[in-house]
Structure 1
Amino acid sequence: MTTDATAALTAPLRNVEYRVLWAAEAISSAGDQLAKVALSILVYHRTGSALWAAVVYALTFLPALAGGLGLSFLADRYPRRAVLSVSAAAQAVLVGLMSVPGMPLVVLCLLLVAVQLAASPANAAQNAITREVFDDDELYLRSQDLRGITTNTVQLLGLAGGGLLVTAVGTSWALAIDAVSFAVAAVIVRVWVRDRPAAGGEHSTWFSATRWVFGQRRLRVLIALSWLVGLAVVPEGLAAPLAQQLHAPSAAVGWLLAADPLGFVAGAFLLSRFASARVRQRLLGVLATASLALLALFLLQPNLVLALVLLALAGATGAYIITVTATFSTWVPNDLRGGAGGLYRTGLRVAQGVGVALGGVIAEATGSAVTAIALAGLAGVALAIPTAFSWTRVRHTAEAGSGL
């Protein structure tokens, strides 16, 4: 990475508010990686049941969906700094209780549900504040690049060393570290992020943003582009059977899981370095289609090396999602941005969950993880092409309307 490229990518960090928001998210994300590993180990060791471990993992997903639709409007109704800091403080207390040794399993599950529900308004507030911090579209897009790179780097570090660290410090201490990370996030946000009045106030209600978003064709197309990620993540759910089918060692499961986020980091950097916001918007349809076409190449029955290359390239082109998310946030009025962001995030997570589930069903039916990935890619390309043409039309309309 050259000095100029580094300076361009880290330019948003010169803003104190963004620096605090970025640090708070990075710290809490790192803690969450530890917590997920710790919970899986804790529940499995206590029950000896893979089913219970899967149920607890599902509890990190399902409440977030309900909260994303039902609670994100709080980031419009109340001051966003307060929503973010209070939510982080609540999560610190709840995770702290989870870290108490010997906590009954049922109580542990209830606390986990509460933690995930509290995360929804926090995520909505964080996303909305970041758009308020930057008036310049280019700088805002770079800030989202940096967030994407950081999140995926934390995921890679979690894959590489999360289990080892939890084994070293123990599950209770790992959860305690997560609680501290939320507490730190709550404090630094409260101290260094500027207090702004509620963007929407009493006019913000349940699903008001949802109704508005689905009434806007250009936002519907952006949502459709984001849902294509649901097919792009199919390989993540099939990493273990894919490694076995490729006659690879057990360690290859980790390599296959790491290939996509590693490619994503590289792709986000290259887009941030070489493409303006306008150019990236024009490339959205092409990149979305390419990310899925690369998975369709699994029809070639690749060996392990080629599979890793295809997954990494799919991750790199899949970095288009940063531009989709940033454009969506920019095109939503500030007073609806929290609720609309919750809708967008929820749709993205549902698409990912459905995609992974369908990939598993197809792999089971065909007896081949490679075939399931290839079919997901083919189906994705068939959906991506008309979506790309729709995006071109709405983008042209948006550019004409802004006089650009």
Structure 2
Amino acid sequence: MTTHASAPLTAPLRNVEYRVLWAAEAISSAGDQLAKVALSILVYNRTGSALWAAVVYALTFLPALAGGLGLSFLADRYPRRVVLASSAAVQAVLVGLMSIPGMPLGVLCGLLVVVQLAASPANAAQNAITREVFEDDELYLRSQDLRGITTNTVQLLGLAGGGLLVTAVGSSWALAIDAVSFAVAAVIVRIWVHDRPAAGGEQTTWFGATRWVFGQRRLRVLIALSWLVGLSVVPEGLAAPLARQLGEPSAAVGWLLAADPLGFVVGAYLLSKFASAPTRQRLLGVLATLSLALLALFLLRPNLPVALVLLALAGAMGAYIITVTATFSTWVPNELRGGAGGLYRTGLRVAQGVGVAIGGVVAQATGSAVTAIALAGVAGVVLAIPTAFSWTRVRHAVAADSGL
């Protein structure tokens, strides 16, 4: 059902449930940005070891991957409001314990693992509830635009001021702020989000959604489109060596990191304002290919201003991922949406991690971050073109089945 093709970007905020879900995510995301910076500074100051700092950063990533596959089904088996509020409450308590000054490093790492595991069913429940809130496809897509813009804006603010704030208040207080953000999220979700019965119930099985998703060709193609982002994020992992190769000061690292999310925010806004849901679906393959083709232009050895423009434009084209995610969620039955969303999110994060790792290996082997980024773009275009054609065939097949 699509009735609000001209709805403004802020239209979803008129819905009280979505407004609460959006606010809860924004608040906890801001707290998480602080916590990541705080943990890195805390561990490095205490151990003086870059390895330990890297290990702790990895612990903000790896458990979420396992949880995304193994725990997301809880958002189908149990009422989603309960899952979301309970997960946020658990995270508030655990991060609160992490904020205690002098907490042993091993205990800190253990708590961090559990915090990240608890995030998986929460994310699955959040995504599934949002789809339930909106019956209108256009409003739902705009709700995802708003989420994407908010998340990337929070990321930009974290890059701009996270380190300064942690330095000002201290690591323990920054973690305490993160704990409070989770507590606030738990309370407002519990009060204002409707209590719905479990979508899947007792018949929900572990990995049942995963088996169903991979049996659907149209969903496999959407997953393939999402995995292309793994090559788009290569510049993020190479920001420091790229700045050095361009002969720029350390401050340029922040600019290079900020270019992509800034472009993403602009791209998401423009797509939301000027393109309907069907139009955006038609453009998916084109935008995915262009986002990678812009990285391939690093073959021309750009200077810093040109590099920033290319990265920002690539980020703007990369806003196609919002439509991919929204379409995936719409095409999955409600009773499987939590587990399927966990699979999708996990695959996306793995693709990003693998992409950054491969980019680092190529940069090390070639001695050039510019070359590694360009090769990621070339390889991405080679993969994106057949994926785009597959998407066109799938989209036409779905339209034919729907009688459109």
For this structure pair, what is the TM-score category when the shorter chain's length is used for normalisation?
Answer: over 0.9
Q: Secondary structure at the match of 2:8?
A: helix
CA deviation map 1:250-280 (0-9, x unaligned): 1000000000000000000000000000000
Q: Give the ranges of 4+ consecutive aligned residues of structure 1 lying more than 3 Å apart after TM superposition.
A: none
CA deviation map 1:124-173 (0-9, x unaligned): 00000000000000000000000000000000000000000000000000
Report the equivalent of 1:322: 322
Report the equivalent of 1:90: 90
Contact 2:85 2:187 in 1 (8 A): yes
The 2-side partners of 1:144 and 1:95 are apart by 27
The 1-side partners of 2:221 and 2:170 are apart by 46
Spell out the pairing of 1:196-215 with structure 2 (5 A cutoff): 196-215=196-215
Spell out the pairing of 1:271-282 with structure 2 (5 A cutoff): 271-282=271-282
Spell out the pairing of 1:2-401 with structure 2 (5 A cutoff): 8-401=8-401
Q: What is the TM-score normalised by the length of structure 2?
A: 0.98
The 1-side partners of 2:114 and 2:197 are apart by 27
Contact 2:225 2:288 in 1 (8 A): yes
1:375 is matched by which residue type in structure 2? L
The 2-side partners of 1:205 and 1:272 are apart by 36
The 2-side partners of 1:146 and 1:113 are apart by 29
The 1-side partners of 2:270 and 2:204 are apart by 38
Contact 2:9 2:146 in 1 (8 A): yes
2:219 is matched by which residue type in structure 1? L
2:196 is matched by which residue type in structure 1? R
Query: Mind listing any 5+ residue stretches in structure 1 that lack a counterpart?
Result: none
The 2-side partners of 1:307 and 1:377 are apart by 13
2:81 is matched by which residue type in structure 1? R
CA deviation map 1:150-201 (0-9, x unaligned): 0000000000000000000000000000000000000000000000000000
CA deviation map 1:26-84 (0-9, x unaligned): 00000000000000000000000000000000000000000000000000000000000
| Cα 1:6–1:104 shift into 2, 3 Å | farther
1:399 is matched by which residue type in structure 2? A
Contact 2:264 2:316 in 1 (8 A): yes
- Cα offset, 1:7, TM superposition: 7.1
Contact 2:293 2:377 in 1 (8 A): yes
1:90 is matched by which residue type in structure 2? V
1:45 is matched by which residue type in structure 2? N
Query: Mind listing any 5+ residue stretches in structure 2 that lack a counterpart?
Result: none
Q: Secondary structure at the match of 2:60?
A: coil
Identity of aligned residues (%): 89
Q: Secondary structure at the match of 1:101?
A: coil
The 2-side partners of 1:202 and 1:302 are apart by 57
2:259 is matched by which residue type in structure 1? A
Q: Secondary structure at the match of 1:199?
A: coil
The 2-side partners of 1:222 and 1:347 are apart by 11
Number of residues of Structure 1 aligned to a counterpart in Structure 2: 400
1:177 is matched by which residue type in structure 2? I
The 1-side partners of 2:186 and 2:221 are apart by 35
- Cα offset, 1:6, TM superposition: 12
Q: Secondary structure at the match of 2:384?
A: helix
Contact 2:7 2:139 in 1 (8 A): no
CA deviation map 1:307-355 (0-9, x unaligned): 0000000000000000000000000000000000000000000000000
